[in-house]
């Protein structure tokens, strides 16, 4: 894999990329947790309109990641990253003033496509400059992102108490500042794809082994995503509709565990297993996260207990699940990009990651649809059991693929 022709020291570039990841997650979660409430209560939109607006953001980011990755390889990672951050700033700025569905859909699509541009670019630049330190630096990359995820909603909560428009404008300002910093400080990198690879996305799409790997890893995105989808549902069913404090506990627990333990967990796993085995182990741990919920689909606590104590006891299965999902992410995050780089053999890395992200996005959308159908079933253990089976099945897929032919070729 060719190295970036950097105009700054590698250490400074790594620091900038990690800071960018923190800022991206901080700016995103500064606004997004409060957008649904603004659309529903502030603008009076229907639930279907809110679902459309939020769904388009996720679909445009995940669904267009292959396009964003190809553009990063075609025109250079720096151009993709700077353009993506500028586009998200504009999208968040539009959310501050838009009050009609067409404008809101446009803003949501813009913020999603922005992520499809900068995410493959940032990851590819970090993978390139990291060299043999990829697993260590992508562990730090996860820590930086988790720190942003922890602090962003707290800052947004303070601003949302004043006015949602202020939340959106501050989030837009975060990305505007980040755009300017990156435009000045990121190295001016030429297109990373060799001329013969300029239409290489077709070759990537024909790589069946990489497609099977991407599909096998889709569970690593679908399972943690349940913290946003099914876990709030079971929390609302167990604790009642006012469960915001409980959700805050879950997010805080996940972020704090990642910040505190990512380095140790990653180093421990790297000493014992190859990167593919770490991925399989992470998927198994994610599967185990749903065992407490499968065993106790609707926790019941004695009515004689104090109400606050009862609520915390009822949350134990959900807290255990969130903790195991965090550990699973710690096992996967440092190693997935290393495997992607090795499978791509250092060519069209952003395009490969874009395809990987697109496959996971489509799988997550389909999985959430099926989860909704299972949620209506009278068997309340069914969704959680399905998640356990999915995680174990994905882990088996990765293990078999690696056994047939190593996923980390020399």
Which of 25, 42, 26, 377 minimizes the C-alpha distance to 233?
377
**Is 2 inside any structural domain?**
no
Query: Last residue of some domain: 134, 153, 188?
Result: 188
Whether the Cβ atoms of residue 119 and residue 349 lie closer than 8 Å to each other? no
Q: Residues 152, 269: one domain?
A: no
Q: What is the mean pLDDT of residues 347-375?
A: 87
- The CB density around residue 242, as the number of other CB atoms within 10 Å, is 8
Return the closest-CA partner of residue 113 out of 87, 90, 149, 95: 87
Domain co-membership, 184 together with 202: no
Mean pLDDT of 258-285: 94
Contacts 24+ apart (CB under 8 A), 204-208: 204/344, 204/348, 204/351, 204/352, 204/355, 205/355, 207/343
What is the spatial distance between Cα 402 and Cα 221, in angstroms, rounded to a whole number? 20
Is 193 a domain residue? no
Give SS3 for 82.
helix
Q: What is the DSSP letter of 301?
A: -
Supply the pLDDT for residue 37. 78
Confidence of residue 7 (pLDDT cuts 50, 70, 90): very low
Q: Which of 145, 162, 188 is the last residue of a domain?
A: 188
Same-domain pairing of 178 and 212: no
Q: Are residues 125 and 149 in the same domain?
A: yes
Q: How confident is the model at residue 3 (pLDDT cuts 50, 70, 90)?
A: very low
Q: How many domains would you assign to the chain?
A: 2
Q: Looking at the structure, do residues 276 and 162 belong to the same domain, yes or no?
A: no
Q: CATH number of the domain that 230 lies in?
A: 1.20.1250.20
Q: Are 82 and 133 in contact (CB under 8 A)?
A: no
- Confidence (pLDDT) at 38: 83
Distance, CA of 210 to CA of 252 (rounded, Å): 34
- How does the average pLDDT of the chain come out, rounded? 85
In angstroms, what CA-CA distances link 200 with 185, 310, 332?
29, 57, 27
Angle CA 401–405–409, to nearest 5:
115
In the predicted structure, residue 407 carries a pLDDT above the cut 60:
yes
Q: What is the mean pLDDT of residues 246-256?
A: 78
- Residue 80 counted as domain residue: yes
Are 149 and 251 in contact by the 8 Å Cβ rule? The answer is yes
Q: Assign residue 306 a region: left if phi > 0, alpha if psi is -120 to 50, beta otherwise?
A: beta
Are residues 50 and 100 located together in one domain of the fold? Answer: yes
Reported as a single tens digit per residue, the pLDDT across 192-235 is 455 545 566 778 888 899 999 999 999 999 898 887 777 777 77
How many residues does the structure list for the chain? 410
CB 286 within 8 A of CB 325: yes
Q: What pLDDT, in 10s, does the model give residues 53-80?
A: 877 888 888 889 999 999 998 888 999 9
Q: Are 102 and 163 within one domain?
A: yes
Structural domain that includes position 22: 7-188
170 part of a folded domain: yes
Residue 1 within any structural domain of the chain: no
**3-state secondary structure at position 345:** coil
Contact 174, 31 (CB under 8 A): no
Helices 134-160 + 316-344 axis angle, to 10: 130
Flag whether pLDDT at 158 surpasses 70. Answer: yes
Q: Is the dihedral of CA 397, 402, 407, 408 positive or negative?
A: positive
Contact 114, 87 (CB under 8 A): yes
């Amino acid at each position: 894999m060719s190295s970036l022709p950097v105009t700054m020291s590698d250490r400074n570039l790594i620091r900038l990329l990690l800071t960018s990841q923190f800022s991206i997650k901080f700016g995103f979660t500064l606004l997004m947790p409060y957008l649904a409430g603004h659309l529903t209560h502030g603008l009076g939109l229907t639930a279907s309109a809110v679902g459309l607006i939020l769904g388009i953001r996720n679909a445009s980011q995940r669904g267009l990641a292959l396009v964003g990755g190809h553009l990063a390889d075609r025109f250079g990672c720096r151009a993709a990253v700077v353009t993506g951050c500028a586009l998200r700033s504009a999208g968040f700025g539009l959310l501050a003033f838009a009050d009609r569905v067409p404008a809101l859909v446009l803003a949501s699509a813009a913020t999603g496509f922005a992520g499809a541009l900068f995410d493959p670019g940032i990851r590819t630049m970090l993978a390139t400059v990291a060299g043999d330190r990829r697993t260590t630096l992508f562990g730090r990359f996860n820590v930086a992102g988790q720190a942003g995820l922890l602090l962003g909603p707290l800052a947004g909560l303070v601003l949302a108490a004043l006015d949602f428009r202020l939340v959106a404008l501050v989030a837009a300002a975060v990305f505007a500042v980040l755009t300017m910093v990156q435009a000045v400080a990121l190295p001016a990198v030429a297109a990373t794809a060799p001329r013969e690879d300029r239409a290489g996305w077709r070759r990537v799409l024909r790589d069946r082994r990489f497609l099977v790997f991407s599909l096998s890893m889709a569970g690593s995105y679908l399972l943690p995503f349940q913290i946003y989808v099914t876990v709030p549902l079971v929390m609302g069913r167990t604790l009642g509709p006012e469960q915001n404090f409980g959700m805050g506990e879950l997010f805080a627990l996940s972020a704090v565990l990642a910040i505190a333990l990512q380095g140790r967990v990653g180093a421990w796993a790297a000493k014992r297993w190859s990167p593919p085995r770490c991925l399989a182990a992470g998927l198994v741990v994610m599967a185990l996260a749903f065992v407490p919920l499968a065993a106790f689909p609707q926790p019941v606590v004695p009515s004689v207990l104090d109400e606050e104590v009862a609520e915390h006891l009822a949350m134990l299965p959900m807290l255990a699940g969130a903790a195991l999902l965090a550990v699973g992410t710690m096992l996967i995050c440092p190693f997935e990009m290393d495997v992607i780089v090795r499978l791509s053999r250092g060519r069209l890395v952003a395009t490969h990651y874009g395809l990987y992200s697109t496959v996971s996005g489509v799988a997550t959308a389909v999985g959430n649809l099926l989860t909704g159908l299972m949620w209506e079933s009278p068997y309340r253990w069914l969704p959680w059991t399905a998640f356990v089976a999915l995680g174990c099945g994905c882990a088996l897929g990765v293990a078999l693929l690696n056994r047939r032919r190593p996923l980390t070729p020399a």
